[in-house]
Structure 1
Amino acid sequence: MITGESEARDFVSARCDRAAMERIERFIQFLREENARQNLVAHSTLETVWQRHIADSAQLLDCVPRETDGVWLDLGSGAGLPGLVVAAMRPDWPVVLVESRKKRIEWLDRMIATLSLDHCRVEGDRLESVETFPAAVISARAFAPLERIIRLSSRFSTGDTLWLLPKGQSAAQELQDLPKRQRALFHVEQSQTDPRSGIIVGHLAGKAGS
């Protein structure tokens, strides 16, 4: 379990190269500046930004096989968590960030350009209006209740799509609230950044577009 900023930074550093760490450090700098203009993250969490936001996002990569091929779809990206962190750490992976709020779309576009994330792009619209495509990974952090995430996003999912949904303290309860058939397809992984938090992980049977 990560217990502080130094451990969090080391955790991230062990999972990427120096260029990625430089991109993340720049991202943090701009995040602090932008947060004074719009509330991207709770101000108090900037004091523990590596643990609360960067390592919390980076830990999702531990669930993804390195040979994974395809689009990482991040729902309700907001400040860019976890999508921009993933894109910064794995710049060769195609990452699509879905965000409907104008100021946050502008922020994400600016960060993509600033960090030279050539394989990352923003879908600046409500998820319901985004054209269907098959995703290799679907992530969502503080986006919506689990049932609604599945209902809105299942059309992007194939039988191979990996779902990674950090849900904080509500993970076990939200999973329990799913219909039994769906519940059996997911499980809760312990967050490495917060002993009270969980990540819902699984595969949803079906194919994109269905």
Structure 2
Amino acid sequence: MIASEEEARSFCEALCDPPAIARLERFIHLLGEENEQQNLVSSASLHHVWQRHIADSLQLLLHVPRETSPWIDLGSGAGMPGLVVAIAFPDLSFNLVESRKRRVAWLQGVVDHFDLQQCRVYGSRLENVESAPMQVICARAFAPLEKLLSLSARFSTPDTHWLLPKGRSAAQELAEQPESIRATFHVEQSRTDCEAGIVIGKGRPPVR
């Protein structure tokens, strides 16, 4: 379990090469500046940014083959987890979906800053994004699990990986789903919060 900023930084350094760490440091600086203009993340979390946001995002890579792409990040917001992973691994293809205009502008500005040519920002509600097969579907604090699966199942294939950080509600949300969903998904312990879980699955969920 990652219990400090130092441990979080070391965790990230084990996953990423030095140029990626330098980009993430620059992202942290940009995030702090922008957070003074709009409330992207809680101010308190910036004191533990490697643990709360960077390592918390990059830990998803432990649950999917590193070369897997494209990803779609639902409700990207401040950029966690999708933008963080895209900055660390710019050769992977990412699709960031966010409907709030100021956050769309923030996401696009960061994509442009790092020249992330494989990362596309969709300034739209998910319902208005054209269906396309994705190898990874991720989301942090996007919607309750049942609604999330219903809205995004059209992007999945039999080989799609689902990586859904759900915080402290992970086990409860999954337990409330039909047996067919519970057979497809399971909960993994978060590396950055002893009380948080990640709902993980593979395939096309049996939703209406």
Task: Quickly name the TM-score band, shorter chain normalised.
Answer: over 0.9
Cα-to-partner distance string for 1:93-143 (whole Å, 9 max, x where unaligned): 000000000000000000001112111110110000000000000000011
The verdict on how the C-alpha distance between 1:206 and 1:197 changes in structure 2, with shifts beyond 3 A counting, is: closer
Aligned to 1:42: 42
8 Å CA contact retained: 1:182, 1:204: no
8 Å CA contact retained: 2:153, 2:204: no
Q: What is the letter of the counterpart of residue 17 of structure 2?
A: D
8 Å CA contact retained: 1:165, 1:201: yes
Aligned to 1:64: 64
**Once superposed, what is the RMSD of the aligned Cα atoms?**
1.3
Distance 2:10 2:204 in 1: 36
Fraction of identical pairs, as percent: 59
Residue 170 of structure 1, CA deviation? 0.2
Residue 30 in 1 paired to residue 30 in 2?
A: yes
Cα-to-partner distance string for 1:36-72 (whole Å, 9 max, x where unaligned): 110000111110000000000000011111242x310
The verdict on how the C-alpha distance between 1:151 and 1:206 changes in structure 2, with shifts beyond 3 A counting, is: closer
Q: What is the letter of the counterpart of residue 101 of structure 2?
A: K
Q: What is the letter of the counterpart of residue 63 of structure 2?
A: C
TM-score scaled by length of structure 1: 0.96
Give unpaired runs (5+ residues) of structure 1.
none
Aligned to 2:97: 98
Runs of 4+ in structure 1 deviating by more than 4 angstroms, as ranges, are: none
Distance 2:114 2:145 in 1: 31
Distance 2:167 2:181 in 1: 20
Residue 18 of structure 1, CA deviation? 1.1
Q: What is the letter of the counterpart of residue 138 of structure 1?
A: I
Give unpaired runs (5+ residues) of structure 2.
none
Residue 182 of structure 1, CA deviation? 1.1
TM-score scaled by length of structure 2: 0.97
